[in-house]
Amino acid sequence: MPAAVAPKNALSFGAGWLYWAPLGTSVPACTVSGSVFTDTWPVGWVLLGVTREGHEFNYELSTEDVEAAEYLDPIATVTTGRTSGMSFEMMQIHATNLKRALNGGTIATSGSGATLRSELTPPTIGQETRCMLGWESQDLTERLYAEQAFQTGSLSIARRKGADNAGLPTEWKFEPAADGFPYHHIFAGAVRG
Protein backbone atom coordinates (compact mmCIF):
# COMPACT_ATOMS: atom_id res chain seq x y z
CA MET A 1 0.00 0.00 0.00
CA PRO A 2 1.45 3.43 -0.90
CA ALA A 3 1.97 6.01 1.82
CA ALA A 4 -0.90 8.46 2.28
CA VAL A 5 -0.35 12.13 1.54
CA ALA A 6 -2.24 14.38 3.96
CA PRO A 7 -3.98 17.36 2.32
CA LYS A 8 -2.66 20.81 3.21
CA ASN A 9 -4.48 23.12 0.82
CA ALA A 10 -7.23 24.70 2.98
CA LEU A 11 -5.07 26.59 5.49
CA SER A 12 -6.26 29.96 6.71
CA PHE A 13 -3.92 32.80 7.66
CA GLY A 14 -4.23 36.31 9.03
CA ALA A 15 -6.74 38.21 11.11
CA GLY A 16 -8.94 39.34 8.24
CA TRP A 17 -11.39 42.19 8.75
CA LEU A 18 -14.16 42.68 11.29
CA TYR A 19 -17.33 44.56 10.36
CA TRP A 20 -20.10 46.12 12.46
CA ALA A 21 -23.60 47.16 11.35
CA PRO A 22 -26.82 48.34 12.98
CA LEU A 23 -29.50 45.71 13.47
CA GLY A 24 -31.53 45.16 10.29
CA THR A 25 -28.78 46.08 7.81
CA SER A 26 -28.73 44.01 4.60
CA VAL A 27 -26.42 41.00 4.69
CA PRO A 28 -23.73 40.52 2.02
CA ALA A 29 -24.75 38.64 -1.15
CA CYS A 30 -21.50 36.61 -1.00
CA THR A 31 -21.03 36.53 -4.77
CA VAL A 32 -18.17 34.23 -5.82
CA SER A 33 -16.02 34.49 -8.94
CA GLY A 34 -12.55 33.06 -9.42
CA SER A 35 -12.93 31.20 -6.09
CA VAL A 36 -13.13 34.42 -4.02
CA PHE A 37 -15.88 36.76 -2.85
CA THR A 38 -16.19 39.64 -5.31
CA ASP A 39 -19.03 41.71 -3.83
CA THR A 40 -18.57 44.43 -1.24
CA TRP A 41 -20.30 44.54 2.12
CA PRO A 42 -23.63 46.42 1.84
CA VAL A 43 -24.12 50.04 2.89
CA GLY A 44 -24.28 50.25 6.68
CA TRP A 45 -21.45 47.82 7.40
CA VAL A 46 -18.32 49.58 8.71
CA LEU A 47 -14.85 48.25 9.39
CA LEU A 48 -14.23 48.02 13.13
CA GLY A 49 -10.53 48.79 12.78
CA VAL A 50 -7.48 47.10 14.22
CA THR A 51 -7.59 44.54 17.03
CA ARG A 52 -4.98 43.44 19.53
CA GLU A 53 -4.79 39.77 18.46
CA GLY A 54 -7.41 39.35 15.76
CA HIS A 55 -10.57 37.60 16.91
CA GLU A 56 -11.71 34.21 18.18
CA PHE A 57 -14.89 32.55 16.99
CA ASN A 58 -16.53 30.39 19.67
CA TYR A 59 -19.11 27.61 19.38
CA GLU A 60 -20.12 25.50 22.36
CA LEU A 61 -22.68 22.72 22.52
CA SER A 62 -24.20 21.79 25.89
CA THR A 63 -25.21 18.15 26.33
CA GLU A 64 -26.42 15.72 28.97
CA ASP A 65 -25.95 11.96 29.10
CA VAL A 66 -28.90 9.58 29.40
CA GLU A 67 -27.96 6.93 31.94
CA ALA A 68 -29.48 3.47 32.38
CA ALA A 69 -28.83 1.06 35.24
CA GLU A 70 -28.16 -1.78 32.81
CA TYR A 71 -25.27 -0.01 31.04
CA LEU A 72 -21.98 1.42 32.25
CA ASP A 73 -21.85 3.80 29.28
CA PRO A 74 -24.47 6.46 28.61
CA ILE A 75 -27.10 5.07 26.24
CA ALA A 76 -27.58 8.44 24.53
CA THR A 77 -26.33 12.01 24.59
CA VAL A 78 -28.89 14.78 24.13
CA THR A 79 -28.33 18.41 23.22
CA THR A 80 -29.54 20.87 25.87
CA GLY A 81 -28.30 24.14 24.38
CA ARG A 82 -25.60 25.93 22.43
CA THR A 83 -23.82 29.26 22.40
CA SER A 84 -21.83 30.94 19.66
CA GLY A 85 -20.04 34.23 19.36
CA MET A 86 -16.69 35.91 19.00
CA SER A 87 -14.27 37.87 21.12
CA PHE A 88 -11.75 40.54 20.19
CA GLU A 89 -10.08 43.63 21.63
CA MET A 90 -10.55 46.84 19.66
CA MET A 91 -7.44 49.03 19.79
CA GLN A 92 -9.06 52.23 18.56
CA ILE A 93 -10.58 53.99 21.55
CA HIS A 94 -13.15 56.59 20.55
CA ALA A 95 -16.73 57.37 21.55
CA THR A 96 -18.27 55.31 18.74
CA ASN A 97 -16.32 52.12 19.55
CA LEU A 98 -17.03 52.57 23.26
CA LYS A 99 -20.73 52.93 22.43
CA ARG A 100 -20.52 49.67 20.46
CA ALA A 101 -18.80 47.91 23.35
CA LEU A 102 -21.50 49.13 25.77
CA ASN A 103 -24.37 47.96 23.50
CA GLY A 104 -25.56 51.48 22.92
CA GLY A 105 -25.82 54.75 24.74
CA THR A 106 -25.88 58.34 23.62
CA ILE A 107 -23.07 60.47 22.20
CA ALA A 108 -23.63 64.21 22.58
CA THR A 109 -21.29 66.45 20.60
CA SER A 110 -20.55 70.14 20.46
CA GLY A 111 -18.08 72.13 18.41
CA SER A 112 -16.33 70.78 15.34
CA GLY A 113 -12.86 69.83 14.14
CA ALA A 114 -10.23 70.79 16.74
CA THR A 115 -12.96 72.00 19.15
CA LEU A 116 -15.20 68.91 18.85
CA ARG A 117 -16.29 67.60 22.25
CA SER A 118 -18.04 64.21 22.52
CA GLU A 119 -19.65 62.87 25.67
CA LEU A 120 -20.85 59.27 25.91
CA THR A 121 -23.66 58.36 28.28
CA PRO A 122 -24.07 54.58 28.72
CA PRO A 123 -27.42 52.97 27.88
CA THR A 124 -30.09 52.68 30.53
CA ILE A 125 -30.21 49.15 31.95
CA GLY A 126 -32.62 47.15 29.80
CA GLN A 127 -32.31 49.61 26.88
CA GLU A 128 -29.16 48.05 25.38
CA THR A 129 -29.23 47.43 21.63
CA ARG A 130 -28.16 44.50 19.50
CA CYS A 131 -26.02 44.86 16.40
CA MET A 132 -24.71 42.80 13.50
CA LEU A 133 -21.13 41.53 13.27
CA GLY A 134 -19.24 40.25 10.25
CA TRP A 135 -15.81 38.94 9.35
CA GLU A 136 -13.98 38.33 6.09
CA SER A 137 -10.70 36.46 5.64
CA GLN A 138 -7.65 38.12 4.12
CA ASP A 139 -7.72 35.81 1.09
CA LEU A 140 -11.44 36.58 0.50
CA THR A 141 -12.48 32.91 0.74
CA GLU A 142 -14.34 32.97 4.08
CA ARG A 143 -17.10 35.16 5.48
CA LEU A 144 -19.09 35.00 8.67
CA TYR A 145 -21.94 37.22 9.74
CA ALA A 146 -24.27 37.28 12.72
CA GLU A 147 -27.53 39.18 12.31
CA GLN A 148 -28.02 39.66 16.05
CA ALA A 149 -25.04 40.10 18.36
CA PHE A 150 -24.84 41.30 21.96
CA GLN A 151 -21.67 42.27 23.84
CA THR A 152 -21.71 40.33 27.14
CA GLY A 153 -18.09 40.58 28.25
CA SER A 154 -16.65 42.62 31.07
CA LEU A 155 -15.25 45.90 29.75
CA SER A 156 -11.94 46.59 31.47
CA ILE A 157 -9.71 49.26 29.93
CA ALA A 158 -6.11 48.88 31.11
CA ARG A 159 -3.86 51.95 30.94
CA ARG A 160 -0.16 51.10 31.08
CA LYS A 161 3.17 52.70 30.31
CA GLY A 162 5.12 52.57 27.07
CA ALA A 163 3.86 50.91 23.91
CA ASP A 164 1.35 48.75 25.83
CA ASN A 165 -1.65 50.75 24.59
CA ALA A 166 -5.17 50.53 25.97
CA GLY A 167 -7.93 48.61 24.24
CA LEU A 168 -11.61 47.70 24.44
CA PRO A 169 -11.91 43.94 25.11
CA THR A 170 -15.26 42.56 23.98
CA GLU A 171 -17.04 39.22 24.04
CA TRP A 172 -20.05 38.92 21.77
CA LYS A 173 -22.84 36.35 21.92
CA PHE A 174 -24.80 35.56 18.77
CA GLU A 175 -28.57 35.25 19.08
CA PRO A 176 -30.90 33.55 16.57
CA ALA A 177 -32.04 35.84 13.76
CA ALA A 178 -35.40 35.68 11.94
CA ASP A 179 -34.25 32.51 10.11
CA GLY A 180 -33.56 30.78 13.45
CA PHE A 181 -29.78 30.64 13.04
CA PRO A 182 -27.28 32.59 15.18
CA TYR A 183 -24.73 33.02 12.38
CA HIS A 184 -23.82 32.07 8.80
CA HIS A 185 -20.32 30.96 7.76
CA ILE A 186 -19.86 31.10 3.99
CA PHE A 187 -16.96 29.68 1.97
CA ALA A 188 -15.77 30.54 -1.56
CA GLY A 189 -14.16 28.18 -4.05
CA ALA A 190 -13.68 24.41 -4.36
CA VAL A 191 -10.78 24.25 -1.88
CA ARG A 192 -12.96 25.73 0.89
CA GLY A 193 -16.10 23.78 -0.05
pLDDT tens for each residue of the chain, 193 residues long? 889 999 889 999 999 999 999 999 999 999 999 999 999 999 999 999 999 999 999 999 999 999 999 999 999 999 999 999 999 999 999 999 999 999 999 999 999 999 999 999 999 999 999 999 999 999 999 999 999 999 999 999 989 888 889 999 999 999 999 999 999 999 999 999 8
- Domain for residue 58, yes or no? yes
**Residue 47, domain extent:** 17-93+130-187
Distance, CA of 87 to CA of 101 (rounded, Å): 11
Task: Tell me, yes or no, whether 72 lies in a domain.
Answer: yes
100 is a domain residue:
no
Give the N- to C-terminal CA distance of the chain in Å, as an integer.
29
Residue 99 DSSP symbol: H
Residue among 104, 63, 59, 66 nearest 83 (CA): 59
105 falls within a domain: no
CA separation for the pair 141, 176 (Å, rounded):
24
In a domain, 141, yes or no: yes
Q: How far apart are CA 164 and CA 29, in angstroms?
A: 39
Could you list the beta-strand ranges (E) of 91-177: 106-110, 117-121, 131-136, 142-151, 168-174
| pTM (two decimals) | 0.91
Consecutive H or E run containing 98: helix 95-101
Domain for residue 139, yes or no?
A: yes
Number of domains in the chain: 1
Q: Kindly state whether residue 77 falls inside one of the protein's structural domains.
A: yes
